[in-house]
Chains A and B, each alone.
Chain A
Amino acid sequence: MSVVFRLEAPYRGEYALHRLTFGGSGPAAVAMVAGLHGNEVNGIQALNLVAGMLRVMRPKRPVHILPCVNSIGADEARKRWPFDDRDINAAFPGDPDGAPVERIAAAVMDATNAELCIDVHSGATTVREHPHARVPLSGPELEHARAMMLPVVWRRRGDRYEGGLVGAWRGAGREALQVRGGRGLALDMDDATTLARGLVRLLAHLGLISHQDTGSASHDTDHVQDYRSMAGGFFVPEVQTGERVVVGKLLGLVRNPLGGEPIEEIRAQKAGMVLAVRVYPMVHAQELVVRIAEDAT
Chain B
Amino acid sequence: MSERLEEICSIELPTGEAVGVHRRRFTGGLGPHVAIVAGIRGDTPEGTRVAHAVARHLSTQHDRLTGTVDVYPCVNPLAAHHGARHWPGFDLDLNRRFPGRADGHAPDRVARTLLDATRGADMVIELRGAHPAFREETQAHVRHDQPVALERALRANVRVVWRRSAELQGSGTLAAELPGLICLEGGVGNRLTDGVGLELCDGVLNLLVVAGVLPEDALPFHWAAIQRPLVATDEDVVRVRATRGGLFLPSGRMWGEVEVGTPLGEVVDPIAGETREMITAPVAGRVLAMREQPVVYPGSLVARLVAT
Contacts and interface: CB of A to CB of B under 8 A. Distances in A.
A157 to B, nearest CB: 18
A75 interface: no
Contact of A286 (B15, B106, B245, B271): B106
B295 A284 contact: no
Contact of B295 (A83, A97, A257, A287): A83
Contacts of A231: 12
B300 interface: yes
B211 interface: no
A100 B297 contact: yes
B301 interface: yes
B147 interface: no
Contacts, number: 83
7 contacts: A7-B298, A8-B244, A84-B133, A98-B299, A256-B16, A258-B15, A286-B106
A100 B109 CA distance: 33
B36 interface: no
Interface in A113-134: none
Nearest to B108: A286
Interface string A73-96: 000000100011100000000000
Which applies to chain B's interface (DSSP): helix, strand, loop or mixed? loop
A285 interface: yes
Interface residues of B, number: 31
B89 A284 contact: yes
Contacts of A99: 241, 299-301
B106 A8 contact: no
Interface string B1-43: 0000000000111111000000000000000000000000000
A63 interface: no
Contacts of A83: 295, 297, 300
Interface in B260-308: 270-271, 295-301
Contacts of A175: none
B120 interface: no
B105 A284 contact: yes
A245 interface: no
A90 to B, nearest CB: 9
Contact of B105 (A9, A15, A286): A286
A150 B301 CA distance: 43
Interface of A: 7-11, 14-15, 79, 83-85, 97-100, 102-103, 228, 231-234, 256-258, 282-287
A285 to B, nearest CB: 5
Interface of B: 11-16, 85, 89-91, 103-106, 108-109, 133, 241, 244-247, 270-271, 295-301
Contacts of B271: 11
Contacts of A15: 297
B296 A284 contact: no
B78 to A, nearest CB: 10
Nearest to A125: B91
A112 to B, nearest CB: 20
Nearest to B96: A90
Nearest 9 pairs of A and B residues by beta carbon: A8-B245, A286-B105, A282-B14, A100-B297, A232-B14, A232-B12, A10-B245, A10-B270, A99-B299
Contacts of A84: 133, 300
B297 A9 contact: yes
Nearest to B91: A79
Contacts of A98: 241, 299
A15 B297 CA distance: 10
Contacts of A14: 245
Contacts of A100: 297-300
B245 A284 contact: no
A9 B295 CA distance: 9
Given A84-B300, A100-B297, A257-B15, 18 more contacts: A7-B297, A7-B299, A8-B297, A9-B297, A10-B246, A97-B241, A98-B299, A99-B300, A103-B299, A228-B105, A233-B14, A256-B16, A282-B14, A282-B89, A284-B90, A284-B105, A284-B106, A285-B106
Contacts of A282: 14-15, 89
Contacts of B299: 7, 97-100, 102-103
Nearest to B293: A84
Contact of B247 (A10, A102, A257, A284): A10
A231 B106 CA distance: 11
B252 to A, nearest CB: 20
B302 to A, nearest CB: 11
Contacts of B109: 286
A164 B216 CA distance: 50
A7 B105 contact: no
A213 to B, nearest CB: 37
A84 B244 CA distance: 16
Contacts of B105: 228, 284-287
Q: Please indicate which of the listed interface residues B15, B133, B298 has the most CB atoms of chain A within 10 Å of its own CB.
A: B298
Contact of B296 (A10, A79, A234, A257): A10
